[in-house]
Amino acid sequence: MKAYLTNFFPFMGWIRNYSVPNVRLDLVAALTVAVVAVPQSMAYALIAGLPVQYGLYAAIVPCIVGSLWGSSAQLVTGPTNAISLVVFSTLSGVVDPFTAPYIQLALTLALLTGVIQIALGMARLGVLVNFVSHSVVVGFTAGAGVLIGIKQLKNLFFDPSFADSLPVTDTIIELLWQVIRNLNHLHPATLFLGLLSVGVIILVRHFWPERWGPAPGPLVSMVFCGVVVALFSREIGSIDLGTRGQWVADGLFGSPGATKVVGEIPQTLPPLSMPIINDWGLFRDLFSAALAISLLGLLEAASIAKAIASQTRQRLDGNQEFVGQGLSNISAAFFSAYPGSGSFTRSAVNHRAGAVTPLSGVYGGIVVAVTVLLFAQLAAYLPIAALAGMLLVVAYGMVDRHALKLSLTATRSDRAAVIVTFLSTIFLHLEYAVFIGVGLSIVLYLARISHPEVRRWSPPESVTGGEPSPQPCPQLPVIQVDGSMFFGSMSFVKDSLLGILRVHPQASHLAIRMGAVNHLDASGVHGLEEVIDELSRRGGNLLLLEPKMEILHVLDNAGLLETIGSSNIIHLRTRDAIVKILPQLDEDICNDCTSNAFGNICEVHRNALTRKTVKGGASL
């Protein structure tokens, strides 16, 4: 019964062993994470085109649910920068951001995302994230960082009313052109507050002692900029901005126009909400975006969870993490939040702060809720420009220069993956960029495994007893196959083997070293049969060297062991195969051969042939 309940309530498996010392460690970690989570969540909501309180709500109930039903002890679920950008890119072309219909669509998108993620988890498809290369994630993250930074320029440079009047666009060229051609609308107070926010974050990060834990630069920046607005603005007044209902600080430092601020947010726990659940046409329209967010969210969650688990030696269940993220997003749909995932930044902070169990995430959600209840009114003085400045710092951090350099220089496949994904993220609709990145990862993986290395094997001196010649044996090529021989690769492998026989017209035998072959299927067997047919026409046979037991089982089931002959299956040493097969080769060719491909083995064989010839002549 306990095992049955644990399947549905995985937290029951570890909460029974929860100890008092863990309370202090998890609570300290939760308080540390909240210092980062509160300003981040507000800023990410702006990226998503939602009022800031929806970012805070996304860091409460979804965070608690993701921690309880996930498999990682340190993963912190909530709003993330990349997913927030995909939400905005998806919904802003349908309805205006910050409006009630937009919020309703965001809730519905969270519900669809959660359902898809749970379906993937229930289908045991957690292994799918392993097929997406690191280079694709690096390219997408860097591209999203560039987009986020450019999208915040209008909030950093322009008069608030003018910035609101600019048309919404996702194209990076249009975004840059909007900023350049409207620089005459530069608003000094707004620019000052944005740069002040950036400067405070950098200074705190530089001077904060590492032994004190993560630097609370974003929180200090928000508080400092809010104090500046409260002290130096001539008046705080309410201005009708439609459903957004934001406030402005007018006349900061005597600057003409208004400096937009967040305004007071509701001092309540996340209110219950209802996504759209009866519009199948809407579900169809949002499905591709929900699938893209699902995959991106699972990649984010799995990547950070695996990175932390590699240090903590924790065992992860990818399928359980899928379910946990799905339940988190479903809860977001009914508790006034929008789609999220595991946060790289907050999870890393949680781990470094000493969190030992998933209750650190639960405590973190509770701390954010208490913050909303006690300090929400202080957001009346928080300038939007300060949040824009903080997002510029976040965007800069998303471009991982070390990882980009590694991907660009590692292999051609990595270079293609990071470049294509980066450019797709910048120039295409973001959900398409996600699909292109995932699809490219799978294509590159299939291309790699469908072209295993098929090369001539040069025996070392330990095998030949002397230095071998670089020239291959004309009658017995020895080939090394590094990779599986299955339906996706066997056409390439077969063509390579037959090509080797074509350039060795005197070859009657072919030896294949199969120690690196892990998989053989029916297509592989059929390809080997074609090679055997060619060797039979030449009067020889195929030798398989060092095959694994799994490969032998397939050969036996297919009846190919009998065709090859058990004596031609050499389990341990390639030298044994060479010594065994040389007497079966054409003696005249061996006597005239100068390749010395097998070193001393060839010398011993030719000496034996010479003695045989002399003995035969003497008997005559």
Averaged pLDDT of the chain: 81
Over residues 374-389, the pLDDT tens digits come to 888 777 778 888 888 8
Evaluate the CA torsion angle 494, 499, 505, 509 in order and state its sign: negative
With a pLDDT cut of 70, the percent of the chain lying above it is 85
Query: Is-contact 274 257, C-beta < 8 A?
Result: no
What per-residue confidence (pLDDT) applies to 266? 84
Tell whether 563 is covered by a domain.
Answer: yes
- Banded pLDDT at 615 (limits 50, 70, 90): low
Going from the C-alpha of 123 to that of each of 116, 170, 305, 306, 340, the distances in angstroms are 11, 35, 20, 21, 21
CA-only gyration radius of the chain, Å? 33
User: Among residues 445, 471, 499, which one ends one of the domains?
Assistant: 445
Assess if residue 574 is contained within a domain: yes
Residue type, 451: H
* 361, 483: one domain: no
| Position 6 pLDDT exceeds 80 | no
Q: Are residues 281 and 144 in the same domain?
A: yes
Query: Cα(368)–Cα(52) distance, rounded to whole angstroms?
Result: 13
Contacts of 550 (CB under 8 A, 6+ apart): 518, 519, 520
Say what the pTM is.
0.72
Looking at per-residue pLDDT, the higher value among 64 and 318 belongs to 64
582-593 tens-digit pLDDT: 887 877 888 777
In a shared domain, residues 480 and 422: no
| The pLDDT of residue 252 | 52
The total of structural domains in the chain comes to: 2
- Residue 242: its pLDDT value, please? 30
Q: Is the pLDDT of residue 619 over 50?
A: no
Is the pLDDT score of 603 beyond 90?
Answer: no
What is the span of the domain harbouring residue 601? 453-619
What pLDDT was estimated at residue 347?
85
Residue 519 within any structural domain of the chain? yes
* Contact of 521 with 555, CB cutoff 8 Å: no
| DSSP at 69 | H
**Residue 188 banded pLDDT, cuts 50, 70, 90:** confident
Q: Which tens digit of pLDDT belongs to each residue from 105-144?
A: 999 999 999 999 999 888 877 676 667 777 888 888 888 8
pLDDT for the residue 145: 84
**In the prediction, which pLDDT does 379 show?**
75
Percentage, residues of the chain above pLDDT 90: 15
Q: What is the pLDDT of residues 435-461, one digit of tens each?
A: 888 788 788 888 888 888 888 877 776
Domain membership flag for residue 20: no
DSSP 8-state symbol, 303: H
Question: Which pLDDT does position 461 carry in this prediction?
Answer: 62
144 φ/ψ angles, rounded to the nearest 5 degrees: -65, -40
**How many whole angstroms from its chain centre is CA 369?**
30
- The verdict on 407 and 463 lying in the same domain is no
Residue 81: band (very low, low, confident or very high) from pLDDT cuts 50, 70, 90: confident
In a shared domain, residues 338 and 473: no
Confidence of residue 241 (pLDDT cuts 50, 70, 90): very low
Last residue of a domain, one of 417, 445, 473: 445
Contact present, 42 and 55 (Cβ < 8 Å): yes
Per the CB < 8 A criterion, the answer to whether 36 and 56 are in contact is no
SS3 assignment, position 258: strand
Indicate if 486 and 614 belong to the same structural domain.
yes
Ramachandran bin of 457, using left for φ above 0, alpha for ψ from -120 to 50, beta for the remaining angles:
beta
At which of 445, 471, 501 does a domain end? 445
Q: What does the pLDDT read at residue 150?
A: 86
Mapping DSSP to helix (H, G, I), strand (E, B) and coil, where does residue 427 land?
helix
Q: What is the pLDDT of residue 316?
A: 73
On whether both 287 and 419 belong to a single domain, the answer is yes
Higher pLDDT, 93 or 522: 522
The token pair at 60 is 């409460």
Do 506 and 412 lie in a common domain?
A: no
- Residue 167: Cβ within 10 Å count: 6
Residue 12 resides in a domain: no
Residues 238 and 341 in one domain: yes
Structure tokens at 212: 């004190």
Q: Is residue 44 within 8 Å of residue 84, measured between CB atoms?
A: yes
For residue 247, the cross-strand partners are 238, 261
Q: Answer whether residue 618 shows pLDDT above 50.
A: no
Measured CA to CA, the distance from residue 535 to residue 532 in angstroms comes to 5
Q: Give per-residue pLDDT as tens, 498-550.
A: 999 998 888 888 888 888 888 888 888 899 889 888 888 888 888 888 888 88
Pairwise CA distance, residues 436 & 135, whole Å: 13
Position with higher pLDDT, 98 vs 19:
98
Residues 125 and 185 reside in one and the same domain: yes
Q: What is the CATH number of the domain that holds 601?
A: 3.30.750.24
357's CB contacts (< 8 A; 6+ apart) are 14, 18, 22, 26, 73
Query: Residue 594 has what pLDDT?
Result: 74
pLDDT bucket at 239, cuts 50 / 70 / 90 = very low
Q: Is the pLDDT of residue 346 over 80?
A: yes
Q: Same structural domain for residues 440 and 537?
A: no
Do 39 and 144 lie in one domain? The reply is: yes
Are the CB atoms for 195 and 15 separated by under 8 Å?
no
In a domain, 369, yes or no: yes
Contact present, 452 and 484 (Cβ < 8 Å): yes
In a domain, 9, yes or no: no
The alpha carbon of residue 382 and the mean position of all alpha carbons in its chain are separated, in whole angstroms, by: 34
pLDDT tens by residue, 560-574:
777 776 656 655 567
What Cα–Cα distance (Å) separates residue 556 from each residue in 23, 54, 326, 349, 552?
A: 59, 62, 45, 55, 6
